[in-house]
A and B are shown apart, each in its own frame.
Chain A
Amino acid sequence: MAPDVMTIVFLAIMAFIISYMVVTALKSRQEPVKLKRTITVIKCSSCDHEQSRDFKEGDFVGKEEGQCPKCGGKLIVSAIYVEEIPEKV
């Protein structure tokens, strides 16, 4: 009867240690990779027209981007920012 108690105590401790190690190992591995995209916002300097597209190399805030399709005014890059793409479920 006596060795059984020892065995149970021993097994319980081992089970606790192993599950603790497994949990820590799993936790450290989980690092969700977030997808990001960079967006360039272009605004008309004369009217409210605003459009956005993906960032192209060479873009900078204040860059002239041709004519406004609505009023013919100057189009200017007004912001560049990074946005996280929401994960598809």
Chain B
Amino acid sequence: MDGSNDWASTLLVILILGSFLLNFTDIPQKMQLWRYSSYIRKKIIQLTEIEDEGRRKVIKYLNRLNVENPRKVLEGFVDNFFLISPVNIEPTDIIKRLRHLIRNRDESIRRYVEENIPNASLVQRQNAEVLLEISSVLTLINKIVKHYFQLGVKYNNWILMMQLALELQQVVKLAKAYDDAMDAFMAGMPIGDGAGPLVAFYLKGDAKPVRIAKETIYYETSLDGRKVYIIKAEGPGSTVGWPGEAVEKLVNMLGGSVSRIITVDAALKLESEKTGEVAYGVGAAIGDPGPEKIAIERAASRYGIPLDAVVIKMSNEEAINSMTKQVLEGVKKAVEIVKKVIRDKVPESGSVIVVGIGNTVGIA
């Protein structure tokens, strides 16, 4: 036996052993399971830190509003106030039922906040509502991640573990975005989703607001001889109002003599799109669970009013965080596009409804 023969046979043995281990045992999967689970454990610690920081922020805000026991108020909110979606295998009336449930939930949250933070202004209470909701969402995210992680560990489900590990980066990013968003709501600053209400604000000029639905107002102004009705949520507290009901009421009030309804909203951008791009199309630009959107569509179709949509593109994170410069540029572009649509498509002496959809925090 010479030397070269020796190392060739060693290599052969290693190859055979290696292929046996790779193909006929679970060892590689076990090792991956172990690697992914240690990665997930690290991320769960990070998520818990984010959740705790969110809670600290809420407590700080509640302390500022002279709440006696802010921790108790927070704990009484988190995990409660869920909404069970209505039966959908029997769709009759589903919108009515959903609207009823959503409004019930909003009402009970409002009452909870009112009872526990009695000495605050309306704007402060509205912002506190959102802070509590965000804290609730952070807890939910953390719980869901832990749920899948523990299932994976319990049943040695390495595919579940791998999926979770691969998704987690995005989940943590989202949680961070929610946590950052709290700062905007605490300071009462406009957020990216406020793009629609901001367009409405720029269009209204000096017009005076008139209340039309709960937390929703309209302005009456004119542009080159056309009568323009502008609907937005009532600011500067954090609310989206009831734009659907407002449109319905206004169209009925005008007896259907409206040339166009234009909805303006923030829209989720695709990865390849730039923040602040503005696009227009047809339909109701509004991202609610259904009731408000269908109210706009029904009001438009009842009288055969064309429905235009103008959207300002941004990412999920940008939509819930303080408004960036790029979004603001988009808002300015959108104002010009809405004006152009009005000039080009609404006959002189005709009237048009413009709806600024979104959360109006920080925008009067």
User: A and B, one complex?
Assistant: yes
**A contact face: mostly helix, strand, loop, or mixed:** mixed
Interface residues contributed by chain A, number (CB under 8 Å):
20
Residue of A nearest to B361 (CB): A60
A2 close to B (CB within 8 Å)? yes
Contact A82 B235 (CB under 8 A): no
A66 close to B (CB within 8 Å)? no
Among A2, A5, A61, A62, chain B packs the most CB atoms within 10 A around the CB of A61
Bound CA span A5–B5, Å: 12
Contact check: which of B11, B235, B324 meets A81 at CB < 8 Å? Answer: B324
Contact A81 B328 (CB under 8 A): yes
CB distance from A13 to the nearest CB of B (A): 12
CB distance from B361 to the nearest CB of A (A): 8
Binds A, one of B111-119, B187-195, B248-256, B282-290: B187-195
B189 contacts which chain A residues (CB < 8 A)? 38, 55, 59-60, 80
Residue of B nearest to A62 (CB): B364
Contact B188 A60 (CB under 8 A): yes
B198 close to A (CB within 8 Å)? yes
Residue of B nearest to A45 (CB): B206
CB distance from B35 to the nearest CB of A (A): 12
B206 contacts which chain A residues (CB < 8 A)? 45
A49 close to B (CB within 8 Å)? no
For the complex with contacts A6-B7, A61-B235, 5 further pairs of A-B residues with Cβ separation under 8 Å are A1-B4, A3-B3, A55-B187, A62-B236, A81-B325
A residues adjacent to B (C-beta < 8 A): 1-3, 5-6, 38, 45, 55, 57-63, 79-83
B residues adjacent to A (C-beta < 8 A): 3-4, 6-7, 10-11, 187-190, 198, 201, 206, 235-236, 321-325, 327-328, 362-364
User: Would you give 29 A-B contacts (Cβ < 8 Å), ordered by A?
Assistant: A1-B3, A2-B4, A2-B7, A5-B7, A6-B11, A38-B189, A45-B206, A55-B187, A55-B189, A57-B188, A59-B362, A60-B190, A60-B362, A61-B362, A61-B363, A61-B364, A62-B363, A63-B236, A79-B198, A80-B190, A80-B362, A81-B323, A81-B324, A81-B325, A82-B321, A82-B323, A82-B324, A82-B325, A83-B324
